[in-house]
């Protein structure tokens, strides 16, 4: 039920669920994710440029990513609770000049500038399957020339493939040009996929 509502529910209900979970400490375990497999990809493709992080959570990516590898970072999240943590952490790490955060539902969010990297880190699960292609097409307009999408997801649980994430990767592989796909193992099969709209120049 929760999984259905966090993908298909109205924005105000999704916000309530996520705010309650962040306030209750359910997601405290993602506060520290230093050394995650996504960082080398982000650092490579950000190329000292700009990052849009959709479903950014409590500021782990914005503050664990090597500071010298990007110029600006914008985190979007539906949860004001998560963003309060993200902003506080950014003050503590002295990155307020680089990191900005805004509340929004990534199914309808309209950026006001293009980015070098658009990231869905552990957040694409909350895009309905039928919207994966339209949502990525929408954000394609906000990729700079040479820009890429980076998606990090767990494709399995206890060694068994999960249907929706596996299907999401298939949709990406069919409709976009994949530059890299890294499988980082473990029972969850942590996977990072880097891609751009078909036919876009490098
Ligand atoms: C599992 S957490 C991942 C957080 C962070 N990206 C990470 O990898 O540690 C998923 C995040 O996506 C956010 N989220 C879920 N649905 C969303 C939506 N429709 N729009 C914006 N953010 C959303 C949640 O509030 C939560 O912060």
Ligand 1 mutation target, pool 6, 123, 152, most atoms within 8 A of CB: 123
- Rounded to an integer, the average pLDDT of 36-62 is 97
Strands 143-154 and 99-103: unpaired
Shortest-distance Cα residue to atom 20 of ligand 1: 105
Shortest-distance Cα residue to atom 11 of ligand 1: 55
- What local confidence, expressed as pLDDT, does residue 100 receive? 98
- Rounded to an integer, the average pLDDT of 53-74 is 98
The chain-wide mean pLDDT, for the chain, equals 96
- What local confidence, expressed as pLDDT, does residue 30 receive? 96
Ligand 1 mutation target, pool 57, 84, 134, most atoms within 8 A of CB: 57
- What local confidence, expressed as pLDDT, does residue 126 receive? 97
Q: Is 83 helix (H, G, I), strand (E, B) or coil?
A: helix
pLDDT of 1 over the 80 cut: yes
pLDDT of 201 over the 80 cut: no
- How far from the centroid of its chain's Cα atoms is residue 125's Cα? 10
**CA dihedral defined by 122, 66, 180, 199, rounded to 10 degrees?**
100
What domains are defined for the chain?
A: 2-197 (3.40.50.150)
From ligand 1's centre to the CA of 28, what distance in Å? Answer: 13
- What local confidence, expressed as pLDDT, does residue 20 receive? 98
From ligand 1's centre to the CA of 142, what distance in Å? Answer: 20
Shortest-distance Cα residue to atom 16 of ligand 1: 126
Q: Give pLDDT tens digits for 130-171.
A: 999 999 999 999 999 999 999 999 999 888 899 999 999 999
């Amino acid at each position: 039920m929760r999984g259905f509502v966090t993908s298909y529910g109205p924005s105000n209900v999704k916000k309530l669920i996520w705010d309650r979970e962040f306030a209750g400490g359910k997601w405290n375990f993602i506060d520290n994710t230093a050394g995650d497999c996504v960082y080398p990809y982000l650092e490579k493709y950000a190329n000292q440029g700009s990052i849009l992080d959709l479903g950014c959570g409590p500021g782990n990516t914005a503050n664990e990513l090597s500071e010298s590898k990007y110029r600006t970072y914008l985190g979007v999240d539906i949860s004001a609770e998560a963003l309060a943590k993200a902003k506080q952490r950014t003050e503590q790490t002295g990155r307020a000049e680089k990191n900005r955060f805004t509340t929004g539902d990534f199914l309808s969010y309209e950026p006001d500038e293009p980015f070098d990297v658009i990231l869905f880190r552990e957040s694409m699960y909350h895009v309905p399957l039928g919207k994966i292609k339209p949502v990525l097409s929408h954000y394609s307009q906000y990729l700079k020339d040479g820009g890429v999408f980076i998606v990090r997801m767990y494709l399995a649980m206890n060694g068994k493939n999960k249907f929706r994430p596996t299907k999401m990767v298939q949709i990406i592989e069919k409709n976009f040009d994949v530059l890299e796909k890294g499988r980082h193992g473990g029972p969850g099969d942590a996977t990072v996929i880097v891609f751009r709209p078909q036919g876009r120049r490098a």
